[in-house]
Amino acid sequence: MPTLHSLRRWLVLLPLALLAGCNTVLMNPSGDIANQQGRLIVVSTVLMLIIIIPVIALTIFFAWRYRQSNKEATYSPDWDHSTQLELAIWAAPLLIIIALGAITWISTHTLDPYRPLSRLDAKRQISPETKPLVVEVVALDWKWLFIYPEQGIATVNELAAPVDVPISFKITASSVMNSFFIPALAGQIYAMPGMETKLHAVINKPGEFEGFSANYSGAGFSGMRFKFHGLNKDDFDQWVAKVKAGKEGELTREGYTKLEVPSEREPVRHYASVDADLYNAILNRCVDRNKMCMSQMMAIDADGGLGKPGAFNVATMQSWQPDTLNSPKRKYVTAMCTTEE
């Protein structure tokens, strides 16, 4: 029979055993952006603990010191103010808020996902002539499509990038909003249909990392995962050559239409080539060539609406009108006519 002492010892060791298999990738990432974000979590937590720990300690102390049975404690029922105590109570939180505000302001601009990288890590800067690897990301139901426009290839549920090379992600979605997230690389960023978001990041260590959607998007959401491979330059070139030899052939617009159909837990696919304008067509909601692209619609709207064929209800601002002073003449829609009219 185990003794009470040995049972207590095992109870103390149980949490350590349970945590031994945890992968604390957020606190120990392999990409510089994720590393900086992880340090922000630590710094913010420490700053808040400067207030939380004394408050908890003093709460326990006051409850014990001024308990009813302690006759030695000073009893002051008419006490209501202490300048020193008020300064201590308000000054410390104020300083913490100022510190957190400064850190938030600086990190918000430094770690802006739309901002191109200026460094590979804390010790190495990126030269201005360095060309990033461009990857176009499309969130489908329920899988990920990655297009490498410069390499002319595409993959499903597999992503790779060379170590210490800046990556420029262009991200969109086919139907509903998703969230593109590789914890070891950088923070999550949303993928939305008809819109393009951006993310700049770099992987500093070779390895295989987990990527997934961090935003619920339907029945197949739980299986919407992919592998991200950090490779050295030679291995990345070999990976590209492997994809170019993929049995899927070319990813055309017609092929994308079939791929877009909702499906769950899709296997990895390699496309040896890809339609050069496919990503723009996905972004502008005009993969079907019979549909007008959003960019074309916006161009018509910018020109006044309905374009030149509909000039009967489009007028040009006159030179004497205030809006045209010191600026080019603009067109605007004067009326929308119904069939009867």
- CATH number of the domain that 137 lies in? 2.60.40.420
pLDDT on residue 26: 72
If asked whether residues 246 and 208 sit together in one domain, one would say: yes
Q: Could you write out the DSSP letters of every residue in 229-266?
A: EEE-HHHHHHHHHHHHT-TT-EE-HHHHHHHTS--SSP
CB 174 within 8 A of CB 139: yes
- Cα torsion angle, 115, 119, 120, 123, sign: negative
pLDDT on residue 289: 86
Low-confidence ranges of the chain (pLDDT < 50): 307-308, 310-313, 320-321, 324, 334, 336, 338-339, 341
pLDDT tens string 13-26: 665 555 555 567 77
pLDDT on residue 191: 95
Indicate the residue among 111, 145, 176 that finishes a domain: 111
Q: What domain range is 249 assigned to?
A: 124-283
pLDDT on residue 8: 62
Q: What is the dihedral of CA 285, 291, 293, 298, to 10 degrees?
A: -120
Considering its fold, how many domains does the chain have in total? 3
Which two tokens mark 312? 């009967």
If asked whether residues 130 and 275 sit together in one domain, one would say: yes
pLDDT on residue 295: 87
If asked whether residues 243 and 158 sit together in one domain, one would say: yes
Tell whether 339 is covered by a domain: no
Tell whether 207 is covered by a domain: yes
Tell whether 118 is covered by a domain: no
If asked whether residues 101 and 129 sit together in one domain, one would say: no
Tell whether 5 is covered by a domain: no
Tell whether 161 is covered by a domain: yes
Which residue, 42, 173, 185, is CA-closest to 111? 185
If asked whether residues 138 and 277 sit together in one domain, one would say: yes
Residues in the chain: 341
CB 274 within 8 A of CB 251: yes
If asked whether residues 102 and 131 sit together in one domain, one would say: no
If asked whether residues 253 and 231 sit together in one domain, one would say: yes
Which two tokens mark 177? 């909003």
Tell whether 75 is covered by a domain: no
pLDDT on residue 296: 83
If asked whether residues 136 and 201 sit together in one domain, one would say: yes
If asked whether residues 100 and 134 sit together in one domain, one would say: no
pLDDT on residue 312: 47
pTM here? 0.77
If asked whether residues 233 and 278 sit together in one domain, one would say: yes
Tell whether 321 is covered by a domain: yes
If asked whether residues 267 and 149 sit together in one domain, one would say: yes
If asked whether residues 221 and 279 sit together in one domain, one would say: yes
pLDDT on residue 13: 60
Is the bond preceding 142 in cis, omega lying within 30 degrees of 0? Answer: yes
CB 66 within 8 A of CB 73: yes
Tell whether 297 is covered by a domain: no
pLDDT on residue 75: 81
